[in-house]
Structure 1
Amino acid sequence: MDSYQPGPPRQEQDHRRDLQDRDDVLLLVETFYTKAFSDPVIGRIFTEVVDMDLAAHMPIMADFWQTVLFKAGLYKRNALAVHFDIHAKEPLTLEHFNRWLQLWTLTVDGLFRGEKAELAKVQAHQIGGSMLRRVTGKSASAYERISLRPGARAEER
């Protein structure tokens, strides 16, 4: 999965500000999903595979991202289970996750800048990587367990 790398600072006058509240989170998720629904790589997952009701989905995603960014405690669902269900209908691939992350990063960068905006991108990459690994049957962790000494038995690791 492509790792997140901060881009160079913009030279022109920048009037973007950081994410501050639910209204900002709603703007972010609405802008992102509008792009995602029409995207040639991932759009049909939302429109055909899941047949997602965008209006109904926005408050759920706002709860999710408000919880991730501001520790709001609003999201009570199981995001991984949702992605397992999607993956059962149509396998989610590295290409899908990379495109999702690319659109997310471009959307965040187009609307906001600052600590929470950077956190939104970092967290998306971590969550996306974990979900991709899990739905494809791998460990959720990007790191495999490392034995502290050569030849250690599995139960000692």
Structure 2
Amino acid sequence: MEAYRPSAGGGTELGDIAGRDDILHLVGTFYSRAFADELIGPIFTDVVHMDLVRHMPIMADFWQTVLFKAGLYSRNALAIHFDVHAKAPLGLDHFNRWLQLWTNTVDELFSGGKAEMAKVQAHLIAGSLHRRVTGRPASQYSTIPVRPAGGDGAGGGQSAGG
């Protein structure tokens, strides 16, 4: 399965992500969709039993830190995903679906520089988390993300990352 790539745009009539209220709207909308999703919903509801009311301010802190360098998030996201992966292995399909839902939600709600940054950063973060929980280095540049079927990875070292 090839890695999901975010789309390039959203509607021009939408406003950009401007602060915490917008982030709360974005993550609230996203998680309502993620919880209902056939593939990743059970991870949130049945595996980690996520308390969405308690989790929303944490995710708002995370995205406010990512988008506005607010310095509000101090948890270890990697350790949390390692714990989830130990309970229910997280495959590329899970990360791709998360990215697809995130990107679609951003595109439906916002347009502008911060909205684009939210999609790009989500892609980079998801890729890094996926590589780390599957035992590979975090950097997309230290591995070959896509290898030919049956290939040994030798010959050219062409990266499909971006």
Pairwise TM-score range, normalised by the shorter structure: 0.7 to 0.9
State the TM-score, normalized to the length of structure 2: 0.84
Aligned to 1:25: 23
Equivalent in 125, 137, 140 of residue 138 of structure 2: 140
Structure 1 residue 41: Cα displacement = 0.8
For residues 38 and 4 of structure 1, what CA distance do their matches in structure 2 show? 21
Name the counterpart of 2:85. Answer: 87
Question: C-alpha distance in 1, partners of 2:6/2:108?
Answer: 16
Q: Following the alignment from structure 2 to structure 1, what is the Cα–Cα distance between the partners of residues 142 and 80?
A: 25
Unaligned residue ranges in structure 2 (runs of 5+): 144-162
Aligned partners of 2:142, 2:87: CA distance in 1, in Å? Answer: 29
Q: For residue 143 of structure 1, give the secondary structure of its aligned residue in structure 2.
A: coil
Name the CA distance, whole Å, in 1 between partners of 2:120 and 2:40: 20
Q: Distance in 1 between matches of 2:60 and 2:16?
A: 16
Give identity over the alignment, percent. 66
Gap runs ≥5 in structure 1 = 146-157
| TM-score, structure 1 normalization | 0.87
Q: Does 1:3 align with 2:5?
A: yes
AA aligned opposite 1:19: I
**1:42 equivalent in structure 2:** 40
Offset of residue 2 of structure 1: 2.1
Which structure: larger Rg?
Answer: 1
Displacement of 1:144 in angstroms is: 1.8
- Is 2:16–2:111's contact at 8 Å kept on the other side of the alignment? yes
1:3 is matched by which residue type in structure 2? R
Letter in 2 for 1:4: P
Paired residues, number: 141
Deviation track 1:113-148 (CA, whole Å, cap 9, x = no partner) reads: 000000000000000000000000001000128xxx
Following the alignment from structure 1 to structure 2, what is the Cα–Cα distance between the partners of residues 60 and 24? Answer: 15
Q: Tell whether 2:62 aligns with 1:70.
A: no
Q: Distance in 2 between matches of 1:71 and 1:38?
A: 30
